[in-house]
A = this chain, B = another copy of it.
């Protein structure tokens, strides 16, 4: 993802300090941050960046397909920079930790036509829930 900035520039993105900072934050360790966490980390690098800009930038990255929104049952959306390798998520019900996982099989194929109600089905999102080793031990 180090070439994210290049890809964005290639798509006609105007490169600003704020956008660079947001991209850098997402480019760090592969975690699933909320918008506010992204904002907090961005502020550490560029103190005057505003919440609105972070929200705007995240929204743009999502519509460009560079970042995925993950809707867990938590209150806030999380942003997943690992958009270029399809994957699903495993969430700990205890501490909220999120791991990327790669199930075998293709859930899309598991939905028979009779269960599609005429929909054009284009995407599937699988969320596994359970307890991580720490929370299971507690």
Contact = CB atoms under 8 A, between A and B. Distances in A.
Size category of the A interface is 35 or more
Interface of A: 69, 71-73, 77, 90, 92-93, 99, 101-105, 107-108, 110-112, 115-133, 136
Contact of A120 (B99, B119, B130): B130
A133 to B, nearest CB: 4
A123 B133 contact: no
Contact of A101 (B72, B115, B123, B130): B115
Interface of A is mostly: mixed
Nearest to A103: B110
B128 A124 contact: yes
Contact of A132 (B105, B110, B119): B119
B130 A127 contact: no
Contact of A126 (B77, B126, B130): B126
Contacts of A112: 103-104
